[in-house]
Structures are given as C-alpha cells and as structure tokens.
Amino acid sequence: GEIYEVGFKYNPTQRLAINGAIYDTVEKNRLAASNDPSNPFASSQIGQVRIRGAEIEVIGKVTPDFDLIGSYSYISAKVETGDNAGKSVEGVPANQASLWGKYRLGALGLRDVTVGAGVRYIGASYEETNTYTIPSYTLFDMMVAYDPGKYRLQLNVNNIGDERYVAACYARGDCYYGLGRTILGTATYRF
C-alpha cells in the first residue's frame, strides 16, 4: 500500500488549538470476509481500495478550568478493482464526529479532580456487497480523574446509556452488536 498525508497544527492563541489532516491511501490485495457460506471464516482478496479523507480537531480552553474538544472526520473508502469495484469498503463510515468537555474542579477546592463527558457520532456504513446499510449511532461517555502529579487514577464509562447498536454486518448474513456500557479504571504512576 501507499499513503500520502498532509497535516497541520495551528495555535492562534494559548487557549485554542486546531489540528487537521488530509490523506490518500491505496491498498492492494486487501483481505475481506468471504461470501462462501460453507466457510464463513475464510477471507479473499478483493483487489485495490482507495481511502481518502480529512479530519479536523479543535481544542479550546473556554475557562481556566473548562476545556472543550470537538472533532470531525470524513472518509471516502472505495474498492477500485476486483469483484466489488465501485462499492464502498465494508464497515467504514463516511462521517464521524465527537464533542467532549472536561472540567477541573478547582473552584470547589478539588484542583486535582477532573470530570468530563462527551458524545460520539458514527455514521452509516455498508457490508462488503453494499446491499445492506449499517445504521449510524450516537454514544455518550464520561470520565472522572484524580491527578495530584506523581500518579493518576481515572475511571472511564463508555456508552453510558448501554445503547444497543449494530456495529458490523457481513454479506453472509450475520450482524454484530457494538460494545455495551464499558467501565474501565486505570492507575498511572510517573517516575
């Protein structure tokens, strides 16, 4: 495969950062799930695919204790040669976006504690023959962290509402739900 990418980082003020990139990827002999019902775990080479896209992220410090982070990406992923030429690459949504806010509880005397919440949007995608559309979905997440300097304790909850959504489908007829509510605790020590 080959990839070409151009990106930028722009900080017009100390309170605002804008990051972006555009890219063009060509991948030859890409593997995909086979449509053979007698061997559902087999893979086959689908030929050449081209994935082009752009992404942007904006990070803003709204107040000394409140940060807002937003991102958006657009992806055009098409099969260029082989049996599925002209079709979208399976499982790759054209649009994805997120918005995340983090607040340090300094005003409450808890300067080492940060809470945050966010929303993620994953756009519609297709299975490999493009006959079935995998619907878009939106998920909500949250976090709380304690970071006094030498160590950091953090708790993340993804998909707070335990939303049921279809994350992937295959032409052979099976679909899979995405992850339900996930709670992850981490401890980090800096030395």
Q: For residue 173, what are the contacts with CB-CB under 8 A and spacing of at least 6? A: none
* Bridge partner residues of 140 (DSSP): 119
The mean per-residue pLDDT over the stretch 123-148 comes to 94
The whole-number pLDDT of residue 37 equals: 61
Q: How many residues does the chain have?
A: 191
Q: How far is CA 29 from the centre of its chain?
A: 25
The mean per-residue pLDDT over the stretch 105-109 comes to 88
pLDDT averaged over every residue in the chain: 91
Question: Closest Cα to residue 106, out of 65, 134, 68?
Answer: 65
The mean per-residue pLDDT over the stretch 118-134 comes to 93
**Global pTM?**
0.84
Cα(127)–Cα(173) distance, integer angstroms? 10
Residue 114's SS3 state is strand
